[in-house]
Structure 1
Amino acid sequence: MGAVAKKELKQYFHSPVAYVCIGVLMALFGFFYTQVLISGSSSNISYVYSNMFVWCMLVIPILTMRTLSEERRNKTDQALLTAPVSTMGIAGGKFVGAFSIYGLAMTMSLIPAVVLSFVGKPNWGMIFGEYLGALFFGMAMTAIGIFVSSLTENPVIAAIGSLGIAIFLMVIDSVSSAVNNPVLSKVVSWISFSTRYQQFTSGTFDISSVVFFLSVTVAMLFLTSRRLESRRWN
Structure 2
Amino acid sequence: MGAIYRREVGAFFTSSIAYVFLTVFYLASGYFFFGSCLASATTDMSGVFSSLFLIVTILIPILTMRLFSEEKKQKTEQGLLTAPVSIGGIVLGKYFAALTMYTIGIAILFLYALILSFFGAVAWGIVAANVLALFFLGAAFIAVTLFISSLTENQVVAAVIGIIALLALYLLDLIAQLVDSVPVLPTVLNALSFYTRYYDFTCGLFDPASVLFYISTAVLFNFFTVRVFEKRRWS
TM-score by length of 1: 0.96
For residue 85 of structure 1, what is the aligned residue in structure 2? 85
Is residue 131 of structure 1 aligned with residue 131 of structure 2?
yes
Q: CA deviation at 1:179?
A: 2.6
Q: Deviations over 1:48-85 (max 9, x none)?
A: 01001110111000000000000000011111101111
Map 1:59-208; keep pairs closer than 5 Å. Answer: 59-181=59-181, 183-208=184-209
Partner amino acid for 2:210? S
Q: Take 1:109 and 1:82, find their aligned partners in 2: how far apart are those partners? A: 41
Aligned-residue CA RMSD (Å): 1.1
Partner amino acid for 1:156? V
For residue 233 of structure 1, what is the aligned residue in structure 2? 234
Q: Take 1:178 and 1:226, find their aligned partners in 2: how far apart are those partners? A: 34
Q: Take 1:189 and 1:3, find their aligned partners in 2: how far apart are those partners? A: 40
Partner amino acid for 1:19? Y
Instruction: Provide the aligned length of Structure 1 versus Structure 2.
Output: 233
Where structure 1 has 5 or more consecutive residues not aligned to the other structure, the ranges are: none
Q: Deviations over 1:4-41 (max 9, x none)?
A: 11110010011211011011111111111111111112
Partner amino acid for 2:205? T
Q: CA deviation at 1:188?
A: 1.1
Q: CA deviation at 1:185?
A: 2.2
TM-score by length of 2: 0.96
Q: CA deviation at 1:122?
A: 2.2
Q: Contact 1:8 / 1:97 at 8 angstroms: preserved in 2?
A: yes
State the percentage of identical aligned residues: 41
Q: Take 2:193 and 2:222, find their aligned partners in 1: how far apart are those partners? A: 19
Q: CA deviation at 1:184?
A: 2.0
Q: Deviations over 1:177-230 (max 9, x none)?
A: 123246222211111110111121121111111111111101111110110111
Q: CA deviation at 1:126?
A: 1.4
Where structure 2 has 5 or more consecutive residues not aligned to the other structure, the ranges are: none
Q: Take 2:6 and 2:90, find their aligned partners in 1: how far apart are those partners? A: 11
For residue 221 of structure 2, what is the aligned residue in structure 1? 220
